[in-house]
Amino acid sequence: MLNVVSVSLVVGTLLAVVVAQAILANGQVKLSGLQHELSLEQSLHRQGELAVAQLETPSRIVGSATNQLRMVHPDQVTELPFVSLSAPLPTPKITPRPATPVAPASAAAPAATVPPSQTGLTGSTTKASSHPASTTTATSTP
């Protein structure tokens, strides 16, 4: 019985080692694939950085501006004065805007609805408007 237990323990241990080696080999394959992808992406990144560096050279920008955009060099360049950001700027003087005249209350009033009893018509309503160009049409139903 001791012999069977020791043999099964050795076989179980060897099986565990084989399984662990298979998992480790699978991880190594994945790691190798990821390292290959990383090297490809780093190469693409370096190519992109090189393209950007070539595009942002001053000579290329000046050449593109003069040839393609037809820009010209200025005759004179005016330097702007230095303004320190550590010193506070003076508060600007603000003058209020003059008041606008207020429209009369009758012109600003919304259109009112006249009840049918005041129009002499039955079954209709007429809107009274203060706007001179608006016309109202009243209809009656028999």
Give 130's pLDDT tier (boundaries 50, 70, 90).
very low
Q: Give residue-wise pLDDT tens across range 51-75.
A: 999 999 999 999 999 999 999 988 9
Q: Is there a contact between 130 and 111 (Cβ–Cβ < 8 Å)?
A: yes
Closest to 120 measured CA to CA, from 138, 100, 93: 138
In the chain, what are the domain boundaries?
A: 2-67
- The residues near 126 (Cβ < 8 Å, ≥ 6 apart) are 113, 114, 119, 136, 138
Mean pLDDT of 25-51: 97
Give 88's pLDDT tier (boundaries 50, 70, 90).
confident
